[in-house]
């Protein structure tokens, strides 16, 4: 019986062996449809939104998107006015 010879590993064989097994995954569909933005809110408001989202069994992002869309639609229809109070000629602030 003759001993089996090990195959020689070439640099190409090693490159093929350690090459990625998957191609780059495409981004999820929602990343193609929506852009990420950041808005500053209080911790209390964030917690209230999370509570509503959990109660209604919807995602927090979906809830916030719905709120924004609803507000913009109502504002554009003249159903909502912003309570703006001028305090400096070049600045304004939303009243609470």
> Domain extents for the chain?
27-83
Mean pLDDT, all residues of the chain: 80
Least confident range from 3-7, 15-19, 55-59: namely 15-19
Distance CA 36, CA 28 (A): 13
- Give pTM, 2 decimals: 0.57
| Contact predicate 55/65, CB 8 Å | no
**Can you list the positions of beta strands (E) in the chain?**
84-88, 91-94
Closest among 85, 87, 86, 88 to 96, alpha carbons compared: 85
Look up tokens 């020689």; give the residue.
8
Mean pLDDT of 69-93: 78
Measured in residues, the chain has a length of 96
């Amino acid at each position: 019986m003759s001993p089996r010879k090990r195959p020689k590993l070439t640099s190409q064989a090693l490159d093929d062996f350690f090459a990625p097994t998957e191609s780059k995954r495409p981004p999820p569909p929602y990343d193609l449809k929506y852009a990420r933005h950041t808005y500053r809110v209080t911790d209390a408001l964030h917690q209230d939104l999370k509570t509503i989202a959990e109660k209604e069994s919807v995602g927090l992002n979906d809830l916030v998107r719905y709120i924004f869309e609803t507000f913009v639609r109502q504002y554009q229809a003249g159903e909502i006015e912003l309570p703006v109070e001028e305090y400096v000629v070049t600045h304004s602030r939303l009243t609470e």
